[in-house]
Structure 1
């Protein structure tokens, strides 16, 4: 079955706005969103061979060395689906952007994969 990398994205200013909310409001959003997220994972467990996780601040490495970087990535999950469109449908109404302040999920096919003979 084809595999896809699904990257959760959020704009830095959305994080700032969320963190500026009163703590009780942040906690209420977190409680509702985490419950919805767990329910989403349970519904799609057969399509999620690697549940991935959320990620923190970026350290970008270039020829010049390592330095803090900025991007909109905040987490990832590996999805198995027949097509990229089928993978996208798995994320319709996802709590990442339906409840939390995430702005989207970028889905990309893996062009290489594990050697099936290994």
Structure 2
């Protein structure tokens, strides 16, 4: 079955707004969102081949060297689905953006790999 990389995205300013909330406000979002996320994973366990994870600050390597960088990538998961549309439908109303300050999930088919053997 085809595999897809699902990339969680979040604008840096949305993360900054979340971090400017009080600890109690952040905890309330986490309490609600983490439960809904776990429920989403349980419902879609048959499609998830790699739970992936959330990621931190970016270091970019180019022909100019190594430097800090900013992008909207904040995490990923690898899923199996018949089509990209079927993969995308798994993420409708996902807590990443319905509860947490994420702005979306980008779905991309693997053209080669990933090697999980």
Shared topology, TM-score over 0.5?
Answer: yes
Equivalent residues in 2 for 1:1-118, closer than 5 Å: 1-113=1-113
Change (3 A) 1:114 1:35: closer
Report the Cα distance in structure 2 between the residues aligned to 1:83 and 1:2, rounded to whole angstroms: 7
Change (3 A) 1:15 1:90: same
Change (3 A) 1:73 1:114: closer
The alignment of Structure 1 onto Structure 2 pairs a total of residues equal to 116
Report the Cα distance in structure 1 between the residues aligned to 2:113 and 2:60, rounded to whole angstroms: 25
- Listed as ranges, the gaps of 5+ residues in structure 2 are none
Report the Cα distance in structure 1 between the residues aligned to 2:54 and 2:95, rounded to whole angstroms: 14
Alpha-carbon offset, residue 8 of structure 1:
0.1
Alpha-carbon offset, residue 5 of structure 1:
0.4
Let me know the Cα RMSD of the aligned residues.
Answer: 1.2
Q: What whole-Å deviation, never above 9, does each CA across 1:31-64 have from its counterpart, x for those lacking one?
A: 1101110010000001000000000000000112
The TM-score normalised by the length of structure 1 is 0.95
Report the Cα distance in structure 2 between the residues aligned to 1:70 and 1:104, rounded to whole angstroms: 17
